[in-house]
Structure 1
Amino acid sequence: MNEIKGGSLTVAGIGSGKFSQITGEVLEALKICDCIAGYEVYINLVKDHFPGKEFLSTPMRKEEERCRLALEKASQGKNVVFICSGDAGVYGMSGLIYEVSKEFPGVQINVLPGITAALSGSALLGAPLIHDFAVISLSDLMTPWEKIAKRLEYASAADLCIVLYNPMSHKRKDYLLKACQILLKNLPEDRPCGYVRNIGREGEECKILTLKELSTAELDMFTTVFIGNESTKVLETANGKKLVTPRGYQFEKSALDDK
């Protein structure tokens, strides 16, 4: 076991990386900490705002090493904030931090929420997640594709709105197509969908399209995809087309009127 001198580790989501979308709670934690740890890309998003801080980072695929470095620093009595994109508990690092922390008994761990892409992307598209929805990652680095395929099939059969994270990468160019082919077994080709790329960053792009059109879209791992349910529609508004899933208030009113 590592010697513990007292310290804390806060795992915090920083949202899309747009500084104005970092919550006040996370911002305060970053201001008062001794050290900021995280994936090097996320460190670069906040580094200029916190001069004088110590920074710990590792490249991609070094997640466990990154967690251990942060916990070691905390075990030395430092106040460490470990940053993740979006929310630390949605495809983030809070789970792995807790697992690795068994080697560092005595380090206090706190988790602060951030704005995950399902929420920030939904706001840009309109209001597609007003009703029940499922969030599914198409990355098979840690989940077998067979299990991902089953989740897609069941979520579409249940008529859930669906949010897809990591829809495509250089090594997974056909995964979005494969996912859409599974969804099309239960959903019509004209089902309203949308995607948002580079949320809150340079090159932000937002588009509404059909499920058939989505199947041939050229996207990347910085894109979040939204598939509507049977009630989802495209509305014309003063600031363009918006993807909206009704909650059903009109039905509640009708039911009251009938009483």
Structure 2
Amino acid sequence: MTTKPAIIILSASVLAMASRVASDLGGEVHGFGKRVPDGADVTFDDVAAHLAGLFQERRPMVAVMAAGAVIRLLAPHLGDKLREPPVVALAEDGSAVVPLLGGHHGANVMARRIAGVVNGFAAITTAGDIRFGVALDQPPEGWALANPGSAKEVMADLVAGASARIEGNAPWLAGSSLSLAEDGEIDLITSDAADAAPGRGLLYRPKRLVLGIGCERGCETGEVLALARESLSEAGLSPQAVGLVASIDVKADEAALHHVARYFDCPVRFFDAARLEAETPRLRNPSDIVFAEVGCHGVAEGAALASVGASGELVAAKRKSGRATCAISRAQQPFTESNLPGRSRGRLFVVGIGPGSDGWRSPEVTQMVSRATDLVGYSLYLDLLGPLANGKTRHDFDLGKEEARVRHAMELAGEGRSVALVCSGDAGIYAMATLVFELLDKADGPDGLRDGARRIEIAVSPGISALQAAAARAGAPLGHDFCTISLSDLLTPWEDIKRRVSAAGEGDFVIAFYNPVSKKRRTQLAWARDKLLEHRPVSCPVILAANLGREGETIRVVPLGELDVDDVDMLTVVVVGSSNSSTVKTGDGRTWVYTPRGYARKEGTAMTNTIPGDAA
């Protein structure tokens, strides 16, 4: 999930201030759709549900609303305070900035920054922050507190007047307002060694150790993790000080490496063989066998050294297990998101944005697009993202360039980027998800993908398809068995399409026709209509739905016998009911289509038996 702060507003009157805060924090504005129809990066309809969702994602929040209202909305979701995200309440006039939750998890820091942006007052109430300008129980990024259970007592002693002694290099402690003395009563120790915590004090781990790992393809995760833990123990180093796992780029999709990184709660980064080979003079165990295999004289030691650069050092030479190797290096500074070396495993998010409106785009799709650095898609689909596309690199493609579009997205991800391949409707229904896996399946062929593109992480997220949208707008035509058929013979032979239409007609399925017509193709829909009239009555309802969820949306219901091809264009989805589908009019004059779950024979059809509906 993204850690990008969400600035939540309920009124357009505070949009300008919220935008300034979002710009300073690197966040995005979330607006209540009924009152903020334009200008927000994300819109929502239910305030309580939206805040709850963000809280459960551990997303930093700045709520431009009354502090009491935020507390009441989030109260049912409060639990482990160590896992709660920073939550800040901001007065609508900017006068007060109040950290409500997660003060030591970033809320206090956020509040001070926001106060500077809006010229307000940060109402910090945590004693340590007020007195010393530092949260001892929540060290900055790149550091871990080894004995958090002692923090409360230590901070109470310091607030009461005790002095502290710093052992090790920690600029964030040295630059605080703590009362420091060489013979201080409280020990504040920084060390990556596997030392015990002091009797009266705190022990901090700088996350500056690198586990350089090499392994055979498909090596068991347990073997690699055991080797990493044994290597740390043998070297007398703390697992909490591990800030990075590193390897060669051909291992970017190796499950064991990602398992180890998750265990140590750190990133994993990769280097090409040339970069690892440049570290040969510093290797303790160079290997000609490894060079013959992957083009460098050492993966574990090479990756460990490449990660820490010339100023770092190898602190534990390569150790071996049956199918893996591990070496450990130490960097001069802890690793943070801003100083990570190498590159990450690329990610490809294959997303369906539905018809294009914010209300019909799933929260998961919105999150994936937010996490992406690059967007790839047909220009219209990227435009439909609106403000969600801001700040991202666009890669626009015309219609008809589907394979080029997918290949480009995968190659970008192969370079270590996070890419969203954007489709309308659902990505897996007549869309790009299939092509992604086709290209992977053919990756070894003459026109295959580059190696990096074969090793990317892929996630597919569903969207509302045109079929679902049309059904919802028209009533409930999908209450019983249904199918979808594309009438485009561009990729499917027309004879195959005819067989499917005939089978669907005989099987009495509700049928959604995608790609019903084009400028050059006008006869297929007429043929399908005539074929279906052999199996269902002329009164069978047909839904013609166009521009679903967008401006210019139209929904018409016509009898199958009166279906006119000239009433259909390329943007229309045609849903033909079964012999059991019916229409009903409501008092407002609307005609609704539904297909009963229980099946009954209709006069004038070829049905000769009754098929019971499934249980509720």
TM normalised by structure 1 equals 0.91
Q: Hey, what's the Cα distance between the residues in 2 that align with 1:168 and 1:157? A: 23
Partner of 2:379: 40
Query: Which deviations, in whole Å up to 9, do the C-alpha atoms of 1:180-228 show, x marking residues without a partner?
Result: 1121222222212111111111211101111011144421111111111
Alpha carbons 2:546, 2:554 under 8 Å: kept: yes
Q: Hey, what's the Cα distance between the residues in 1 that align with 2:498 and 2:375? A: 37
Amino acid at match of 2:406: C
**Relative contact order higher in (CA < 8 Å, ≥ 6 apart):** 1
Q: Hey, what's the Cα distance between the residues in 2 that align with 1:189 and 1:234? A: 13
Partner of 1:147: 496
- The structure with more radius of gyration: 2
Q: Hey, what's the Cα distance between the residues in 2 that align with 1:135 and 1:79? A: 32
Amino acid at match of 1:30: V
Q: Which residues of 2 match residues 49-198 of structure 1 at below 5 A?
A: 49-101=388-440, 102=443, 103=449, 104-198=453-547
Offset of residue 238 of structure 1: 3.7
Amino acid at match of 1:113: P
Amino acid at match of 2:363: G
Q: Hey, what's the Cα distance between the residues in 2 that align with 1:13 and 1:154? A: 29
Q: Which residues of 2 match residues 23-38 of structure 1 at below 5 A?
A: 23-38=362-377
Amino acid at match of 1:78: R
1:242 aligns with 2:592: yes
Offset of residue 229 of structure 1: 1.1
Query: Mean Cα displacement is larger for which, 38-47 or 218-227?
Result: 38-47
Offset of residue 107 of structure 1: 0.6
Q: Hey, what's the Cα distance between the residues in 2 that align with 1:94 and 1:194? A: 27
Amino acid at match of 1:79: S
Provide the identity percentage.
38
Query: Which deviations, in whole Å up to 9, do the C-alpha atoms of 1:125-177 show, x marking residues without a partner?
Result: 11000100010011111111111111111101111111111111111122211
Alpha carbons 2:370, 2:388 under 8 Å: kept: no
Indicate the RMSD between aligned Cα atoms, in angstroms: 2.2
Q: Hey, what's the Cα distance between the residues in 2 that align with 1:158 and 1:237? A: 30
Partner of 1:219: 568
Q: Hey, what's the Cα distance between the residues in 2 that align with 1:45 and 1:58? A: 14
Q: Hey, what's the Cα distance between the residues in 2 that align with 1:100 and 1:19? A: 31
Query: Which deviations, in whole Å up to 9, do the C-alpha atoms of 1:68-93 show, x marking residues without a partner?
Result: 11111111111111011100000010
Q: Hey, what's the Cα distance between the residues in 2 that align with 1:224 and 1:180? A: 14
Q: Hey, what's the Cα distance between the residues in 2 that align with 1:49 and 1:238? A: 40
Q: Hey, what's the Cα distance between the residues in 1 that align with 2:402 and 2:565? A: 32
Offset of residue 56 of structure 1: 1.1
Query: Mean Cα displacement is larger for which, 82-91 or 96-105?
Result: 96-105
Partner of 1:201: 550
Any gaps of 5 or more consecutive residues in structure 2? 1-248, 253-342, 444-448, 601-609
Q: Which runs of 4+ in 1 moved over 3 A?
A: 2-5
SS for the counterpart of 1:60 is coil
Q: Hey, what's the Cα distance between the residues in 2 that align with 1:218 and 1:195? A: 8
Offset of residue 65 of structure 1: 1.0
Amino acid at match of 2:533: L
Partner of 2:354: 15
